[in-house]
Amino acid sequence: MLKNIRLTVVIILVALALMSMVISGCDTEKEAVELNVAAAASLTDAIQALNEKFMSKNDYITVVANFASSGTLQKQIEQGAPIDVFISASPNQIDALQEQGLILDGTRRDLLNNKVVLVVPTDSTLGITDFMDLLRDDVSKIAIGDPEFVPAGSYARQALELLGIYDDVYPRLILGSDVRQVLGYVENGNVDVGIVYSTDAAVTDGVTIVAEAPAEINDSIVYPVAVIESSKQVEAAREYIDFLCSDEARQIFEEYGFSPISG
């Protein structure tokens, strides 16, 4: 009888220990998180690759990415869109949000540099080799992003102004809603020439880079990233930005033609 009692006690203790381990294991599991990331259209390919890598390392986080012009994304944030992380192609948009108290203090970082370039369709026969060729009579359609919303378009306008030819070419400008639309115009031969980021030109065989914008413009191109003040997923958002600034992410950005900013 005593032996049976001891055996029963042992079985109960083992069962309690197993239950404790199961409960403890459940407590350590992280709750599923959906992280909404708004990123400039020029980042589409790189961020998609990085999101897959990030989610493979953090299986409790699902990253939902929204790509558009930085100005459009800024407006969405101002209107209360549920965005956790914003990656802009220009400091201007994040500056504006910061002035309105819509950026979480201490989360902003400068992430990348890029270059603005002049591109033509690969089968172009116009022989364009320089920004000054845009003044030629046989160049009738020039695509740039809408400078009011698209950082690449703003940089394009600055480059044309710096070269003193903006007013002359203005009547020929075709404005795109984001830099990828501009790239498409050039790829499809809908325009004679376009101004995009070098990273956009690198993702297609449909365009050829013929010139770079002046160094005064390209040296100023910065992509900042920050957490949005209204985010309900601040911890995951911080982890995501830490990942984007990691050596592993920098290597992937470089594969897509970006120049990561160290530090």
Tokens matching residue 18: 């197993």
Give me the pLDDT at residue 81, please. 96
Residues 229 and 252 reside in one and the same domain:
yes
pLDDT of 262 above 90: no
Strands 61-68, 142-145: pairing kind: unpaired
Q: Map residue 33 onto helix, strand or coil.
A: strand
In this prediction, residue 10 carries a pLDDT of 43
Q: What pLDDT band is residue 14 in, cutting at 50, 70 and 90?
A: very low
Per-residue confidence at 30, pLDDT binned at 50, 70, 90? confident
Could you give the CA distance from residue 184 to residue 57 in angstroms, rounded to a whole number?
Answer: 34
CB count, 10 Å around CB of 42?
Answer: 33
Residue 211 and residue 226 in one domain: no
In contact, 144 and 173? CB cutoff 8 Å:
yes
Domain that holds residue 106: 33-113+222-260
Question: What is the crossing angle of helices 91-99 and 151-162, to 10°?
Answer: 120
Within 8 A by CB and 6+ apart from 79, the residues are: none
User: Which CATH number characterizes residue 89's domain?
Assistant: 3.40.190.10
For 223-244, what is the mean pLDDT?
A: 97
Predicted confidence (pLDDT) at residue 13 exceeds the cutoff of 50: no
211 neighbors 129 (Cβ within 8 angstroms)? yes
17 within a domain of the structure (yes/no): no
Q: Is residue 66 part of a domain?
A: yes
If asked whether residues 65 and 92 sit together in one domain, one would say yes
Cβ 179 vs Cβ 69: under 8 Å: yes
Q: Of 70, 220, 63, 44, which is closest to residue 148 (Cα–Cα)?
A: 70
Q: What is the pLDDT of residues 161-196, one digit of tens each?
A: 999 999 999 999 999 999 999 999 999 999 999 999
In a domain, 90, yes or no: yes
Alpha-carbon dihedral 196, 200, 206, 211, rounded to 10 degrees: 50
How high is the pLDDT of residue 19? 52
Please give the average per-residue pLDDT across 126-142, as a whole number: 97
Tokens of 60: 């409790």
Specify whether 101 is located in the same domain as 175: no
DSSP H helical ranges for the chain: 2-28, 44-57, 70-78, 91-99, 151-162, 166-169, 179-187, 198-201, 215-218, 234-244, 247-255
Q: 21 in a domain, yes or no?
A: no
Express each pLDDT in 194-220 by its tens digit: 999 999 999 999 999 999 999 999 999
**pTM of the full structure:** 0.83
Each residue's pLDDT tens digit, 64-102: 999 999 999 999 999 999 999 999 999 999 999 999 999
- Residue 141: is its pLDDT beyond 70? yes
Inside any domain, residue 45: yes
Does residue 128 sit in the same domain as residue 207? yes
- pLDDT at residue 29 in the model: 66
Indicate whether 244 belongs to any domain. Answer: yes
d(CA 200, CA 66): 17
In a domain, 131, yes or no: yes
Q: Count how many domains the chain has.
A: 2
pLDDT for residue 7 is more than 80: no
Query: 95 and 77 in one domain?
Result: yes
User: Do 87 and 152 share a structural domain?
Assistant: no
- Indicate the average pLDDT of the chain: 91
| CA dist 216 → 115, 162, 164, 192, 219 (Å) | 11, 9, 14, 25, 6
Please check whether residues 79 and 156 belong to one and the same domain.
no
Q: Examine residue 48 and state whether it is found in any structural domain, yes or no.
A: yes
Give the model's pLDDT for residue 23.
Answer: 43
